[in-house]
């Protein structure tokens, strides 16, 4: 009996010591992330999930897709999600509406537009001048994809109209983001702007041909960022520190590994695509330097984004950088 008692006493400090120096000592946090679309464009996020970077930080991440920044922001405001991955334009709109508990951007995931312009017809030597007299399915009015498309077209000297064929280029804004590919494949529009892997899927169906990268043409923009409500950031700094630690590792991985290595890691998130297809898309995103080396959303980047919004007549008042961006987790 005495020997058994001694064994129990010896076992208790062993268990306590194990917990102190292992994962059982870590607090576990559940966090729901709403992503604006499910795209290979967000490879660093999927790398962080698949390689256990979030789990290493003690986070259990539930990922939901909320097509369009308007729906993603709605998920944040309703508190159905704690973190939103979307264009920063959504946080500008909410701040300018006078919301008390507005969204603040705390990490940048992409620094280029991730969409590609797809034509219905094949052209041997395509140029932007060929868009004259054509209709492009461009996405929701006031969303980043449509505004950057409009910015690029105007930079090319084209006269652009929204839902108005009386201009050189007619950009349709009446088609919801998640059905743009289907509408285009059904025969509507001469061109469409799509993210990957949807763009490549349209091409593989022989429904279109990629003619331009809008990310390459538009240059650096804080295109997609993580944001949370002001109240959530104030009360959950530890969670967001852990979250951004994982994202930083994901970014480092995609910036230091080959497209094939990345494709193999994120394949479980794109079951209908082959590793070879994913590799090609990753290669294209690497070519335009879609992923930044730092998660910091810089002031000059936000200013360029607001310039684009003003050009699209979607911004009445510029939002202060220090109100809608925090550097705390960068």
CATH superfamily of 116-218: Periplasmic binding protein-like II (3.40.190.10)
Cα(123)–Cα(44) distance, integer angstroms: 34
The owner of tokens 């700094």 is 237
Which H, E and C letters describe the chain, residue by residue? CHHHHHHHHHHHHHHHHHHHCCHHHCCCEEEEEEECCCCHHHHHHHHHHHCCHHHHCCEEEEEEECCCHHHHHHHHHCCCCCEEEECCHHHHHHHHCCCCCCEEEEEEEECCCCCEEEECCCCCCCCHHHHCCEEEECCCCCCHHHHHHHHHHHHCCCCEEECCCCCCEEEECCCCHHHHHHHHHCCCCCEEEECCCHHHHHHHCCCCEEEEEHHHHHCCCCCEEEEEEHHHHHHCHHHHHHHHHHHHHHHHHHHHCCHHHHHHHHHHHCCCCCHHHHHHHHHHHHHCCCCCCCCCCCHHHHHHHHHHHHHCCCCCCCCCHHHHECCCCC
Over residues 185-197, mean pLDDT? 95
Over residues 304-327, mean pLDDT? 96
pTM of the predicted model over 0.85: yes
Q: What is the CATH number of domain 28-112+221-324?
A: 3.40.190.10
Residue 20, pLDDT above cutoff 60: no
Q: Where exactly are the structural domains of the chain?
A: 28-112+221-324, 116-218
At residue 171, what are phi and psi to the nearest 5 degrees? Answer: -100, 115
- Dump pLDDT digits (tens) for 316-329: 999 999 999 999 99
Same fold, 28-112+221-324 and 116-218: yes
Per-residue pLDDT band at 26 (split at 50, 70, 90): low
Residue 283, pLDDT above cutoff 80: yes
Task: Name which of 18-27, 113-122, 146-155, 243-252 the model is least confident about.
Answer: 18-27
- Dump pLDDT digits (tens) for 34-52: 999 999 999 999 999 999 9
Residue 10, pLDDT above cutoff 80: no
- Dump pLDDT digits (tens) for 223-238: 999 999 999 999 999 9
Per-residue pLDDT band at 27 (split at 50, 70, 90): confident
What's the confidence (pLDDT) of residue 169? 98
């Amino acid at each position: 009996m005495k020997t058994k008692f001694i064994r129990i006493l010896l076992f208790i400090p062993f268990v306590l010591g194990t917990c102190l120096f292992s994962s059982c000592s870590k607090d576990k946090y559940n966090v729901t992330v709403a992503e604006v679309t499910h795209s290979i464009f967000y490879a660093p996020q999927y790398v962080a999930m698949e390689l256990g970077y979030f789990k290493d930080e003690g986070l259990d991440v539930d990922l939901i897709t909320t097509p369009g920044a308007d729906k993603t922001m709605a998920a944040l405001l309703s508190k159905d999600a704690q973190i939103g991955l979307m264009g920063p334009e959504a946080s500008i709109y909410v701040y300018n509406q006078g919301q008390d508990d507005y969204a603040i951007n705390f990490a940048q995931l992409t620094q280029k537009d991730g969409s590609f312009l797809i034509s219905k017809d094949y052209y041997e030597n395509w140029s932007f001048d060929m868009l004259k007299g054509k209709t492009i399915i461009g996405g929701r009015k006031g969303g980043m994809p449509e505004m950057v498309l409009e910015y690029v077209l105007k930079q090319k000297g084209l006269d652009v109209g929204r839902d108005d064929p009386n201009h050189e280029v007619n950009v349709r804004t009446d088609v919801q983001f998640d059905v743009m590919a289907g509408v285009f494949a059904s025969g509507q529009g001469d061109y469409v702007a799509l993210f990957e892997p949807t763009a490549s899927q349209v091409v593989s169906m022989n429904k279109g041909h990629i003619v331009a990268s809008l990310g390459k043409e538009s240059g650096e923009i804080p295109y997609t960022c993580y944001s949370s409500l002001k109240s959530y950031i104030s009360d959950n700094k530890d969670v967001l520190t852990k979250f951004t630690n994982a994202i930083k590792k994901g970014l480092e991985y995609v910036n230091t590994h080959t497209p094939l290595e990345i494709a193999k890691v994120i394949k479980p998130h794109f079951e209908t695509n082959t590793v070879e297809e994913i590799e090609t898309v990753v290669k294209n995103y690497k070519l335009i330097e879609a992923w930044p080396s730092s998660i910091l959303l810089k002031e000059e980047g936000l200013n360029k984004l607001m310039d684009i919004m003003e050009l699209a007549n979607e911004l009445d008042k510029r939002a202060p950088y220090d109100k809608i961006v925090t550097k705390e987790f960068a």
